[in-house]
Amino acid sequence: MSDAWVLVIAVGAGTIALKSAGPLLLGGREVPARARGVLALLGPAVLAALIVTQAFAGDREIVVDARAAGLGAAAVALLLRAPLLVVLVVAAAVAAGVRAVGI
């Protein structure tokens, strides 16, 4: 089998297993109250990490570039209570603008 198919099958099977494990093993059961307290905080923890990695991660280094400018603009838009679509467009436009002028 070619490397391409080994990659596709291994990553595909692994990812499907990772996504399925919780729903398969837990079923529709209610989780205990303490576990629920932990899961309620999973959103803030993972979202915060996704923001940092998507805005500032380079190849094993912290990079501050046009993405950071876009994120900053998005923060301002959120403070002004802009709708989600506006927040996304502002972030993209500012990042594109910063890249266009070559900062």
For the segment 33-62, give every residue that binds another protein (CB under 8 A): 34, 36-57, 60-62
Show the binding pattern over residues 7-26: x = contacts another protein (CB under 8 A), - = does not.
Answer: xx-xxx-xxx-xxxxxxxxx
- How many residues are recorded in the chain? 103
- From the list 27, 101, 102, 103, which residue makes contact with another protein (rule: CB under 8 A)? 27
**Spatial separation of the C-alpha atoms in residues 67 and 92, rounded to whole Å:** 8
User: What's phi and psi for 2, nearest 5 deg?
Assistant: -70, 160
- From the list 32, 69, 102, 103, which residue makes contact with another protein (rule: CB under 8 A)? 69
**Spatial separation of the C-alpha atoms in residues 80 and 87, rounded to whole Å:** 10
Instruction: Report if residue 64 touches another protein, rule: CB under 8 A.
Output: no
